[in-house]
Chain A
Amino acid sequence: MVIKKRGLSPIVATMLLIAIVIVIGLIIFLWFRGITEEAITKFDGTNIKLVCEEVSFDASYSSSSESLFIANTGNVPIYKMKVKVTGEGSHTTETLQGGWPDFGLSQGGTFSGGIAESAGANKLLLIPVLIGHSDKGDMAYTCEERHGYEIII
């Protein structure tokens, strides 16, 4: 009895299987990369989230002159500063502009200036923004609120 064998050879089937696995793997990898944040690093490859732990600064607010005073007392340059202004039942976040140095507060750097929307505020939270490196070039990263400096007015 002669049996005619038809269909794909095992080699072709295996190659197809591998090709499908690679394609699915690439799709999953690209999707996963999309949902995870791109790593921003600072100081020779340290993740910027860890650098946020090392940021150290002093701050105070004078209600009489409506001025905010900040001094960088650590060794991590602060690129920008976000201020979360909390009032009665609402809050707004702004980035300090007027008087803030173009390249940020380096070691020992200081800032004094006003906040645009301080009327009715009872709490300020200063959140540092750092600049780090990524595959796309230099990128700013806003530290988490737990690294912020709270001022009760």
Chain B
Amino acid sequence: MIRKKKKGLSVMIGYILLITFGIIMSIIVYSYLKTYVPKDLLKCDEGSSLFIKEVNCSGTSLNITLKNNGKFNIAGYFIHAANNSAQEVATVDLSSKVHNDTLTGPIIMGSVVMFWTTPNFLLPNQEKTHEYTLDHVISQIQITPVRYENEGNLQRLASCGNAKILEDLYCS
């Protein structure tokens, strides 16, 4: 009987090396591709809506009554104006012009007029009137509702760009 001497790596070590390489390659590929997995980014709930119930211009005073005609509570809104009718996008921020007597909430993030100090205060069918003091001519106002949305354990302010409203008017 011929006796063969077996030398080299054992089959077991071969398997261990193979599996280790496989795991390392998987980790590298996973860490690169995991960023491409879509996540739910911050979005305002569909069905959030504000409606300009009444708007009055008198001299330098602008009164706006907003009504929540959506399904969800609203926290506040962005308000911008356009100076002339040729301007299709309103870019003049009016939040700093709101009259303090009518303001019931703070102005946060520099330009969000809040309805109250608590988040998502304005319930469906509720309305609120704010008065603004104008210092120049405006031909259009644009209002974008905002509401707090849950993102993990945090509440973040989401702009409801799909629910923005435009109103043509002439205030001088």
A residues neighboring B (CB under 8 Å): 9-11, 14, 18, 29, 36, 39, 41, 43-47, 49-51, 54, 56, 58-60, 62, 64-65, 69-76, 106-112
Q: B167 CB to closest chain A CB, in angstroms?
A: 15
A75 and B144 contacting across the interface, CB-CB below 8 Å: no
Are A51 and B86 also in contact (CB < 8 A) when A71-B142, A108-B159, A110-B93 are? no
Q: Please name the 3 residue pairs, one residue from A and one from B, whose CB atoms are nearest each other, closest first.
A: A73-B161, A60-B88, A108-B78
Q: B139 CB to closest chain A CB, in angstroms?
A: 13
Q: How distant is the Cα of A112 from the Cα of B87 in the complex, in angstroms? A: 10
Given contacts A11-B8, A71-B90, A76-B41, 9 further A-B contacts (CB under 8 A): A39-B32, A45-B39, A46-B35, A49-B36, A54-B41, A69-B88, A107-B109, A108-B112, A109-B111
Contact with A along B74-116 (1 / 0, CB 8 A): 0000101000001111111100000000000000010110000
B35 and A39 contacting across the interface, CB-CB below 8 Å: yes
The 8 Å CB contact of B109, one of A10, A36, A108, is A108
Q: How distant is the Cα of A36 from the Cα of B89 in the complex, in angstroms? A: 39
Q: Which of A29, A36, A64, A109 has the most CB of B within 10 A?
A: A109
Q: How distant is the Cα of A69 from the Cα of B158 in the complex, in angstroms? A: 22
Tell me if B42 counts as interface (CB < 8 A to partner A): yes
Residues on the B chain within 8 Å of A106, using CB: 109
B38 and A75 contacting across the interface, CB-CB below 8 Å: no
16 contacts between A and B (CB under 8 A): A10-B7, A14-B8, A14-B9, A43-B42, A45-B35, A46-B41, A51-B41, A58-B88, A60-B89, A62-B86, A69-B91, A75-B159, A107-B109, A108-B144, A110-B89, A111-B91
The B142-170 residues at the A interface (CB cut-off 8 A) are: 142, 144, 146, 157-159, 161, 164
Residues on the A chain within 8 Å of B35, using CB: 39, 41, 45-47
A74 and B161 contacting across the interface, CB-CB below 8 Å: yes
Residues on the B chain within 8 Å of A60, using CB: 87-89
Q: What count of chain B residues pass the 8 Å CB interface test? A: 36
Q: B61 CB to closest chain A CB, in angstroms?
A: 23
Residues on the B chain within 8 Å of A62, using CB: 86-87
A70 and B89 contacting across the interface, CB-CB below 8 Å: yes
Residues on the B chain within 8 Å of A108, using CB: 78, 80, 109, 111-112, 144, 146, 159
Q: How distant is the Cα of A64 from the Cα of B85 in the complex, in angstroms? A: 12
Residues on the B chain within 8 Å of A107, using CB: 78, 109, 146, 157-159
Residues on the B chain within 8 Å of A43, using CB: 39, 41-42
Tell me if B128 counts as interface (CB < 8 A to partner A): no
B161 and A56 contacting across the interface, CB-CB below 8 Å: yes
Tell me if B3 counts as interface (CB < 8 A to partner A): no
Q: How distant is the Cα of A14 from the Cα of B13 in the complex, in angstroms? A: 12
Q: Which residue of A lies closest to B44 (CB)?
A: A75
Q: How distant is the Cα of A144 from the Cα of B159 in the complex, in angstroms? A: 24
Q: Which residue of B lies closest to A71 (CB)?
A: B89
Residues on the B chain within 8 Å of A49, using CB: 36
